[in-house]
Amino acid sequence: MGKKVTIEPVTRLEGHGKIEIFLDNFGDVEKAFFQVPELRGFEKFSTGRLAEEMPRITPKICGVCPTAHHMASTKTLDDLYKVVPPTAAKKIRELIYSAFMFEDHILHFFFLGGPDFIVGPQASPELRNILGVIATVGLRTGKKVIRIRKKCRDIITLLGGRVIHPVCGLPGGISRGVSEKERKEILKTAEETVEFAQFALKAFEDIVLKNEEYLNLIVGDIYKHKTYYMGLVDDKNRVNFYDGDIRVVDPSGKKFAKFKPRDYLDHIEEHVEPWSYMKFPYLKNVGWKGFVDGKKSGVFRVAPLARLNAATGMATPLAQEEYEKLFDTLGKPAHNTLAYHWARLVEALYAAERMKELAEDTEITDPHIRNFPTIEPKEGVGVVEAPRGTLFHHYKTDKRGKITECNLIVATVNNAAAICMSIEKAAKGLIKKGNVSDGLLNMVEMAFRAYDPCFACATHSLPGHMPLQVRIYDSLGKIHKTVTRNI
C-alpha cells in the first residue's frame, strides 16, 4: 500500500466533509474517498410526530434551503390527506418558491461558487471571494446583489412568516393569503429580479464565456462525468421547481424514465457504505455498480445542470433562450461539472420570470386558501426541486396522522456518489508521482464546490481559501510532506 493524503476542509456538508486520498507506490492516486462525518437522524426522530408539524420540523435539515423542505413537506401532506389546495394557495406556494430559488441561486453565484470564475481560479487567493467579485463587477453591483436578495427574502418573510424556516404550509392550503397591496409590491420586486438575472447572465458571458481559459476549464476533461440526469418537469417536459413528474435521461440524453413522485421507490434506491454517514442514491433499474459513471452505472446527478439536461426546455421565454444558448455551446446533454454555475443562472432567470408571472396573476389575492382534509391519512409523497437537487419526502402515518415512517432523499445526497467521483477524478488528474501542489487543492475544491453541496462546502473563505491540509505519508506511515493552506 502507498501513501495516504488527507484533505480535511472544515467547511461542510452537514458538518465536515473529509477527503481521503490514497496513493499507489508510484505516487499516483489509487482511490479517493469523500466522507460525510455528520448525521442527525431526521428520518428516525420524525416518527411519533404529528404529520402537520413536519413542514416546521423538516426545514431544520437545512437553513439555506428550508423553503425547499417546507414545500416538499407540505406537498407530502397534500398527498397524505389526498386534499387538493385551492388554486390561489398553489400559486402563492409557487410564488414563495420562485422567490426562494432566485435568491438562493444568486447567493451561490456571487458569494459562493461564482468567485471561481468571476475572479478566476488562477487569481490570488485574497481576491477569490465576494470582495474580489465586487472589485471585478463594481461596488454598485455588489450592493445590488445584497439588496435584491434581501427583497426576495422579505417576500418569503411576508408570505411564509419567516424566511429562515417558513411556517405557512398546511395540507390543502397555506395559513395566510395575499392582499392586493402586497401583490403589487411583490410584482415590483419580481420585475427587478428578471432584470437582475439577465444582468447576471450577461456578466457570466462577458467574464467567463468570453475568456478562453475559463471556457477550457469548463469543457475540459478533469471535471467531466457522463452520468444519468434527473429533474422535475411539467407536462411539456419543461423545468419546474415546484411540481410535476420526475424525468431521467441517460448519459446520451435519451429519456430513460418518467415517473410520478408516488412511484419513486420503483426507480431510486440507496446504497450504504461504512465510511460515510451519508447514503448514496442510484437508479434501481440500472443498479449500483460502484463509484463509476456511464450508462451501465446507476449513478445519477441532480441540480441545475442535471435539471436542464433532463428537461427539453424552460417554461418561460427569456430562460428558454438562455437554455438554448447553453446547449449550443456545450452540447446536450452537458456533462461538464463546472457548467453547473451557468445552468444555475439560467434557472435564476426562469425563477424570476415565473415569480413575475405569478405576481401578475390577480387570482393570488383570492381569500380561499384552505381546503380541509376529510379522509384518514395513510401515506404521502411530495417532491420539489431544491436548488441543489431533487428533494423527496415520503411519510407514512397511523390513522391519527402520527408519523410511523419517514423517508427523505435530500437534494445534494442524490449527488453524493457523483461528488465522490468528481473528487477522485480531479485528484487522479492532478496528483502525479506524489507531487501535491497548492494548485491541486484549489482544483479539487472546485470539483466539490460546483455541486454546492447543501451549504458551505462551496464557500469561499473571504480571503479566498478553504482551509486545507494535505498530509502525505510514506509507506512506513511517517509524514513525508505536508502542504497546508491557511492552517
Interface of this chain with another protein, residues 16 to 35, rule: CB under 8 A = 16, 20, 22, 31, 33, 35
Task: Tell the smallest beta-carbon distance from residue 108 to another protein (Å).
Answer: 12
- The reply to whether 387 sits near another protein by the rule CB under 8 A is no
342 CB-contact burial (10 Å; exposed 0-12 / middle 13-18 / buried 19+)? buried
Task: Tell the smallest beta-carbon distance from residue 461 to another protein (Å).
Answer: 4
Using a CB cutoff of 8 Å and minimum separation of 24, what contacts does 68-71 make? 68/97, 68/100, 68/384, 68/385, 68/386, 68/387, 68/391, 68/411, 69/386, 69/391, 69/393, 70/160, 70/165, 70/166, 70/167, 70/169, 71/96, 71/97, 71/169, 71/242, 71/382, 71/384
- The reply to whether 210 sits near another protein by the rule CB under 8 A is no
CB-nearer residue toward another protein: 85 or 333: 85
b/e map 368-391, b = 16+ CB within 10 Å = ebbbebeeebeebbbbbbbbbbbb
Task: Tell the smallest beta-carbon distance from residue 212 to another protein (Å).
Answer: 31
CB-nearer residue toward another protein: 124 or 486: 486
The binder of another protein chosen from 199, 259, 288, 327 (CB under 8 A): 288
- The reply to whether 277 sits near another protein by the rule CB under 8 A is yes
Piece of 163-171, 236-244, 323-331, 342-350 that binds another protein (CB under 8 A): 163-171
Alpha carbon distance 477, 1 (integer Å): 10
The binder of another protein chosen from 19, 57, 246, 450 (CB under 8 A): 57
Q: Output the nine-digit C-alpha cell for 253.
A: 440524453
- The reply to whether 281 sits near another protein by the rule CB under 8 A is yes
Helices 139-160 & 66-80, crossing angle to 10 degrees? Answer: 30
- Nearest residue to 333 (alpha-carbon basis) of 373, 300, 286: 300
Task: Tell the smallest beta-carbon distance from residue 333 to another protein (Å).
Answer: 25
The binder of another protein chosen from 28, 38, 182, 263 (CB under 8 A): 38
Residue found by looking up cell 480535511 in the block: 8
- The reply to whether 479 sits near another protein by the rule CB under 8 A is no
Q: Output the nine-digit C-alpha cell for 330.
A: 456545450
Alpha carbon distance 133, 137 (integer Å): 6
Using a CB cutoff of 8 Å and minimum separation of 24, what contacts does 393-397 make? 393/54, 393/58, 393/69, 393/72, 393/73, 393/75, 393/76, 394/76, 394/264, 394/265, 395/46, 395/51, 395/54, 395/76, 395/77, 395/80, 397/51, 397/80
Count of chain residues binding another protein (CB under 8 A): 98
Piece of 38-46, 252-260, 289-297, 342-350 that binds another protein (CB under 8 A): 38-46
The binder of another protein chosen from 155, 307, 455, 483 (CB under 8 A): 455
Q: What are the start-end ranges of the H helices in 161-208?
A: 180-204
- The reply to whether 397 sits near another protein by the rule CB under 8 A is no
The binder of another protein chosen from 24, 26, 48, 435 (CB under 8 A): 48
DSSP letter string over 94-117?
HHHHHHHHHHHHHHIIIIISTHHH
The binder of another protein chosen from 27, 121, 313, 463 (CB under 8 A): 463
- Nearest residue to 426 (alpha-carbon basis) of 399, 409, 447: 447
Q: Which of residues 300-359 bind another protein (CB under 8 A)?
A: none
- The reply to whether 365 sits near another protein by the rule CB under 8 A is no
Piece of 216-224, 347-355, 437-445, 465-473 that binds another protein (CB under 8 A): 465-473
Phi (first) and psi of residue 304, to 5 degrees: -45, -55
The binder of another protein chosen from 373, 380, 389, 453 (CB under 8 A): 373
Rg (CA), the chain: 22
Task: Tell the smallest beta-carbon distance from residue 153 to another protein (Å).
Answer: 7
> What contacts 476, CB < 8 A, 6 or more positions away?
none
CB-nearer residue toward another protein: 333 or 387: 387
Piece of 61-69, 241-249, 418-426, 439-447 that binds another protein (CB under 8 A): 61-69
CB-nearer residue toward another protein: 213 or 398: 398
Alpha carbon distance 123, 117 (integer Å): 10
- The reply to whether 289 sits near another protein by the rule CB under 8 A is no
Piece of 5-13, 195-203, 244-252, 306-314 that binds another protein (CB under 8 A): 5-13
Give the per-residue contact string, 70-109, with another protein (x = CB under 8 A; - = no).
-------x---x----------------------------
- The reply to whether 393 sits near another protein by the rule CB under 8 A is no
- The reply to whether 272 sits near another protein by the rule CB under 8 A is yes
- The reply to whether 45 sits near another protein by the rule CB under 8 A is yes
The binder of another protein chosen from 19, 137, 163, 303 (CB under 8 A): 163
Phi (first) and psi of residue 191, to 5 degrees: -60, -40
- The reply to whether 400 sits near another protein by the rule CB under 8 A is yes
